[in-house]
Amino acid sequence: MKRILWAALILAACFIFPAFASEARDLSESCEIVVKSKLWTQHRLTDRNWDTYWNGTDSQKTIQISSPEPVHALYICWLTEPRAFKIEEKINGAWQTTEYEPSPLKHQVYYLNGAKEIRVLPSGSRKSWFGISELFVWGEGELPNYVQSWKVPDDSCDMLLLFAHPDDEALFFGGLLPRYAGEEKLDVVAAVLTPSTPTRKSELLNSLWTMGVRNYPVIGPFHDKHSTRLETAYKEFGKTKVRGWVIELIRKYRPYVMVTHDVNGEYEHGMHKMCADASLYAFEAAAQAGKYPDSAKEYGTFQVSKLYLHLYPENQLTMDWDQPLSAFSGRTGFEMAKEAYLHHRTQQGYKQFQVEPRDSPYSSYLFGLAKSVVGLDKDKDDLMENILMTVK
């Protein structure tokens, strides 16, 4: 009798509570993936190594995917931001085509219609280069959390984090992104001076996504160049160009709060120093129409409310990145930063680098309020203190 009653309760619950969506299967390894040019092997697209890739240089290069099961999504990690291309699906014996315009997003999900035969190829008859680092083929169901579906940041945000290189976002800022982007769901824009290499750009995307960032990062136009002096860094890139780029960031994304590197460059890195110095200049200059008038004309002027610098000696506050975060199942911001840093696989051999702990000389917990138009912090436990966010 008890068994019958228990079975009835389970049956009733199935009608009352909807079933959880099943997770989609990764079909990549069971698919046959062929390139028409015959110049490569399938392994490179499915080895989950962002250093290996396939690239095509003309419209005859086609990636053909044959799957034993219906395909409902492709997750493509492009070598660089994709130019125009198309996806063709064979449905009921006929090829159906979807055209895609050039995109600023290097990692993207494309939802499909359950075909078992698919082709990915450049659009147009003229020569068009495109390359892919990794290709994931998904069946029906909910995609896992690591699959990235980015948003393009709009014309306002709550916080702007400016850093020099992919991996600095974790090493020196620790739990900042997990707390504010992941836990508090603030509108955070991450901007990096240099993409360095295509591989390191993919590593950055994987790191940011792990920490809860959903706005696609802003990638700067500057190459990676080590120096120990601010003047050397400015000479390499041009002070006018660097300052203008940072001012344009502020005017375009209009952040309440901005956070960046140490004025001494943490370990004396010139590009880190340049981030801090240009941000100190831009704090006032971005609000002045006479400074860099071209971006003022395009985006208008804007006054950031607060500027924090890592390790800044004045108006200091020590953030607590060790609080459990519900968005990450109770893991702390510091723990999530360490997990994110592991995505920077090319950097793991440099043993001198780590997500800086609280007691480190480069503590990722320690910041100083360098500029403010809303007064000094009193509680000193929140980078958004004194910020009354309104619709911009």
Q: Using one digit for the tens of pLDDT, what is the confidence trace for 233-275?
A: 999 999 999 999 999 999 999 999 999 999 999 999 999 999 9
What's the mean pLDDT in 326-347?
A: 97
What average pLDDT does the structure give for the chain? 91
Q: Which two tokens stand for residue 240?
A: 């006018």
**In this model, does residue 15 exceed pLDDT 50?**
no
Q: Indicate if 224 and 77 belong to the same structural domain.
A: no
Q: Indicate if 53 and 171 belong to the same structural domain.
A: no
**In this model, does residue 390 exceed pLDDT 80?**
no
Q: Indicate if 244 and 125 belong to the same structural domain.
A: no
Using an 8 Å Cβ cutoff, are 371 and 216 in contact? no
Q: Of 264, 301, 133, 273, which is closest to residue 193 (Cα–Cα)?
A: 273
Q: What is the pLDDT of residues 109-168, one digit of tens each?
A: 999 999 999 999 888 655 566 789 999 999 999 999 999 999 999 999 999 999 999 999
Q: Indicate if 130 and 275 belong to the same structural domain.
A: no
**In this model, does residue 356 exceed pLDDT 70?**
yes
Using an 8 Å Cβ cutoff, are 379 and 372 in contact? no
Q: Indicate if 235 and 264 belong to the same structural domain.
A: yes
Q: Indicate if 317 and 367 belong to the same structural domain.
A: yes
CATH number of the domain residue 337 falls in: 3.40.50.10320
Q: Indicate if 224 and 360 belong to the same structural domain.
A: yes
CATH number of the domain residue 123 falls in: 2.60.120.260
| pTM exceeds 0.75 | yes
What's the mean pLDDT in 174-178?
A: 98
**In this model, does residue 4 exceed pLDDT 70?**
no
State the total domains in the chain: 2
Domain of residue 271, residue span: 157-372
Query: Is residue 59 situated within a structural domain?
Result: yes
Q: Which of 106, 138, 170 is the last residue of a domain?
A: 138
Using an 8 Å Cβ cutoff, are 125 and 156 in contact? no
Q: How far is Cα 341 from Cα 150, in angstroms, rounded to an integer?
A: 19
Q: What was the pLDDT predicted at 83?
A: 87
